[in-house]
Amino acid sequence: MNAEILGPIVMFLLTLLTGLPLGKYIAKVFANEKTFLDVIMNPTEKFLYRLAGVDAQQEQNWEKQMVILLTINLIWFILGIFIFTNQSWLPLNPDHNSNQTLSQALNTTISFLVNCDL
Amino acid sequence: MFLQFVSAATGIAAAITVFYALRKGSNDTQGNFYNFFLKSITRVLLPISIIIGIMLIFSGTPMTFEGRQAMTTLQGDSINVSTGPVAAFVAIKHLGTNGGGYYGANSAHPLENPTYFTNMIEMIAQMIIPFAMVFALGFFLKKRKMSGMIWGVMTVGFLLLVIPTIMMEMKGNHNIEAMGVDISAGNMEGKEVRFGTAASAFWGIATTVISTGSVNSMHDSFMPLSGMNMLIAMMTNTFYGGVGVGILNFFIFIILAVFISGLMVGRTPEFLGKKIEAREIKIAMIVALFHPFLILIGSALTVASPSLYGHSLHNAGFHGFSEILYEFTSASANNGSGFEGLKDNTMWWNISTGFVLILSRYISIIGPVAIAGSLSTKKYVPESAGTLKTDNSTFGIMVFVVIIIIAALSFFPSLALGPIADYFTMTH
């Protein structure tokens, strides 16, 4: 075997080494334990919750959670379609890319929405 | 880019709902979704993607709001190159396993992935959260042995796919050698010289087992059986899997394995002290079979009516079939990579794959959450001597076999028509 094969092995091991502590950290975050980002993020989150008028302490069952998930996804879907079909006059488009056709916009939005980007 | 954050956060949040549902004892509620969702972004995705973004900027990835830049290429042509907030884009595209590149050539593009070093960063970025979610499960439920088992099964599956692929790609294509071309670098068609075959092959499999779908080489030009390995990677879609959803898919297979092994030894199937009954199994089976259903029906419909795909197909014959199959598999696995011989911006491809994408995404999120939710409310049965252990290697093998059976039985015929036939045509 030559040196080329070392690359993937190093990548794999590095991922494992960084993944373990990250997993521990994620578990801590969601078990509502103290983590080092609390200083900045606690106020930020509180502000965002107040802005959105959401009570983040209230316990929900899974059906309620899935309804929320689908609703917010639907809002992004509509927003996405709007942006892609109107991008020629919207800001932050320095290259003046033209509007997408409806079927292309549909596909692009869906694929971003479902974490795929086909 | 906003969508890349929120869609990844949706996956993580849904997985956390399952974590909460699997806690000890009988619970009617599973925490707060807004809380999970916002925290996924502020505590996990945002900080890490900032770190990765900064590393990419220092390695030469552009980060600007200005438009195209004129450049002169080595051949002396002058071209306009799009620039923009590329570094930020690339960081979250991998971290959130989205995979939509800033440039059409994705991570094979020299501005998106300038060096071997950035290639490694991007590779690690896309694998790190799927890894971490598995470990997080163990830390959260205080069942580290179980996450070891899950990680072990995933790794075995991953290695079984990645090792042969790297070997095949490094060996190269003998038909090309017969034409008098030096193939000592391996199968370099469609690959970038700065990454080489081994790293490209590793990326190819990693990006397909995880639902990233970003590419640093052209999958269409891989050896036929490497292409098959990528297809299998997406068909099982659970060896690590996408951010959050990988562990949800694996959860389905665990439920099925618990049920089957429960039947084999004649005990009531139990998982983490909760009885698994008809309702959970029904949901699990629907989710498990829906994935092959979407892929195979989609491909069959397309192949049956050539007017639908028209001139979008680049290769005829077996390889053409592989291209169609790959496109639907990629859509259903929410992967997003493609055999780019296929020109997929046509009416048919946009609409059919869009449809497949939506169904496969939400069913594979809601299904596992529903199972976990219904397990959660059940009475907790303490573990006894008669309980089937779900955290040892025996059970790991069981889960692995279930995955293989479901993937092999449902997909083998289509693989035989596509990449395997392609392979035999090439060698003879």
CA distance B282 to B289: 11
- Break chain B into its structural domains and give their ranges: 2-72+79-427
Residue B420: how many other CB atoms lie within 10 Å: 17
Instruction: Single out the residue in A38, A56, A74 at which a domain terminates.
Output: A56
A26: helix, strand or coil: helix
pLDDT in tens, B362-387: 888 888 888 888 888 888 877 776 77
Partner residue opposite B4 with nearest CB, options A19, A64, A112: A112
Burial status of residue B135 (CB atoms within 10 A of its CB: 0-12, 13-18, 19 or more): buried
Angle at B303 between CA B302 and CA B308, to 5 degrees: 45
Q: Tell whether the model's pLDDT for residue A116 goes beyond 60.
A: no
Do A43 and A1 belong to one domain?
Answer: yes
Partner residue opposite A27 with nearest CB, options B30, B139, B354: B139
Query: B66 to chain A: which residues are within 8 Å by CB?
Result: 94
- Find out whether B40 and B8 touch, Cβ atoms under 8 Å: yes
Is B351 close to A103, i.e. CB distance below 8 A? yes
A102 touches chain B (CB under 8 A): no
pLDDT of residue A44: 82
Partner residue opposite B82 with nearest CB, options A59, A95, A114: A95
pLDDT of residue B64: 59
Helices (H), B172-277: 174-178, 196-209, 224-236, 245-265
pLDDT of residue A115: 61
Distances (CA, A) of A49 to A52, A55, A65, B39: 5, 7, 16, 11
Do A45 and A70 belong to one domain?
Answer: no
Q: Minimal Cα–Cα distance from B225 to chain A, Å?
A: 19
Q: Which of B131, B143, B335 to mutate to test the interface with A (most CBs of A within 10 A)?
A: B131
CA-nearest residue of chain A to B116?
A: A7
Is B128 close to A19, i.e. CB distance below 8 A? yes
DSSP B83: -
DSSP B41: I
CA distance B100 to A112: 8
CA distance A66 to B364: 12
Query: A70 to chain B: which residues are within 8 Å by CB?
Result: 362
Is B30 close to A65, i.e. CB distance below 8 A? yes
Q: Which residues lie below 8 Å from residue B165, measured CB to CB, with a gap of 6+?
A: B201, B204, B205, B222, B226, B229, B230
pLDDT of residue B108: 65
Q: Minimal Cα–Cα distance from B154 to chain A, Å?
A: 13
Q: Which neighbouring-strand residues pair with B275? A: B270
A83 touches chain B (CB under 8 A): no
**Regions of chain B short of the pLDDT cut 70:** 1-3, 60-85, 96-111, 174, 176-178, 180-186, 190, 193, 213, 307-316, 335-345, 385, 428
B257: helix, strand or coil: helix
A58 touches chain B (CB under 8 A): yes
For A23-91, strand residue ranges (E) read none
Which backbone phi and psi does B70 adopt, to 5 degrees? -85, 135
Q: A98 lies in which domain range?
A: 59-118
DSSP B40: I
CA distance B204 to B47: 27
Find tokens 């080092």 and name the residue: A36
Q: Which residues lie below 8 Å from residue B27, measured CB to CB, with a gap of 6+?
A: B20, B21, B376, B377
Do A67 and A117 belong to one domain?
Answer: yes
Is A19 close to B29, i.e. CB distance below 8 A? no
Do A75 and A44 belong to one domain?
Answer: no
Do A83 and A37 belong to one domain?
Answer: no
Q: Minimal Cα–Cα distance from A56 to chain B, Å?
A: 5
Mean pLDDT of A91-116: 66
Q: Tell whether the model's pLDDT for residue A55 goes beyond 80.
A: no
Helices (H), B22-62: 33-39, 46-58
State whether the Cα torsion B97-B98-B102-B108 is positive or negative.
Answer: positive
Query: B84 to chain A: which residues are within 8 Å by CB?
Result: 94
Do A42 and A84 belong to one domain?
Answer: no
Do A14 and A69 belong to one domain?
Answer: no
Q: Which of B5, B39, B95, B365 to mutate to test the interface with A (most CBs of A within 10 A)?
A: B39
pLDDT in tens, A14-27: 888 888 888 888 88
Q: Tell whether the model's pLDDT for residue A66 goes beyond 60.
A: yes
Higher pLDDT, B12 or A103: B12
DSSP string, B129-179: HHHHHHHHHHHHHT-HHHHHHHHHHHHHHHHHHHHHHHHHHHH--HHHHHT
Which backbone phi and psi does B271 adopt, to 5 degrees? -135, 120
pTM: 0.83
CA distance B171 to B138: 40
Residue B87: how many other CB atoms lie within 10 Å: 25
Residue A68: how many other CB atoms lie within 10 Å: 17
Helices (H), B237-272: 245-265
Query: A24 to chain B: which residues are within 8 Å by CB?
Result: 135-136, 139
Count interface pairs A-B at CB distance under 8 A: 244
Instruction: Single out the residue in A56, A79, A94 at which a domain terminates.
Output: A56
CA distance B10 to B247: 13
Domain count, chain A: 2
Do A43 and A66 belong to one domain?
Answer: no
pLDDT of residue B310: 61
Distances (CA, A) of B293 to B147, B296, B326, B328: 30, 5, 14, 11
Do A52 and A66 belong to one domain?
Answer: no
Angle at B359 between CA B357 and CA B362, to 5 degrees: 100
A63 touches chain B (CB under 8 A): yes
Is A57 close to B100, i.e. CB distance below 8 A? no
Partner residue opposite A103 with nearest CB, options B21, B66, B347: B347
Residue B314: how many other CB atoms lie within 10 Å: 14
Query: B358 to chain A: which residues are within 8 Å by CB?
Result: 110, 114
Please report how the helices A62-85 and A102-113 are oriented relative to each other, as an axis angle in degrees rounded to 10.
140
CA distance B304 to B282: 31
Do A81 and A104 belong to one domain?
Answer: yes
ipTM above threshold 0.90? no
Do A73 and A117 belong to one domain?
Answer: yes
Partner residue opposite A37 with nearest CB, options B13, B38, B47: B47
Do A69 and A108 belong to one domain?
Answer: yes
A86 touches chain B (CB under 8 A): no
Interface list for A 37-56 with B (CB within 8 A): 37, 41, 44-45, 48-49, 52, 54-56
Query: B198 to chain A: which residues are within 8 Å by CB?
Result: 4-5, 7-8
Is A73 close to B10, i.e. CB distance below 8 A? yes
Is A115 close to B139, i.e. CB distance below 8 A? no
pLDDT of residue B140: 87
User: What tokens were used for B35?
Assistant: 């809380």
pLDDT of residue B51: 86
Query: B240 to chain A: which residues are within 8 Å by CB?
Result: none
Residue B65: how many other CB atoms lie within 10 Å: 9
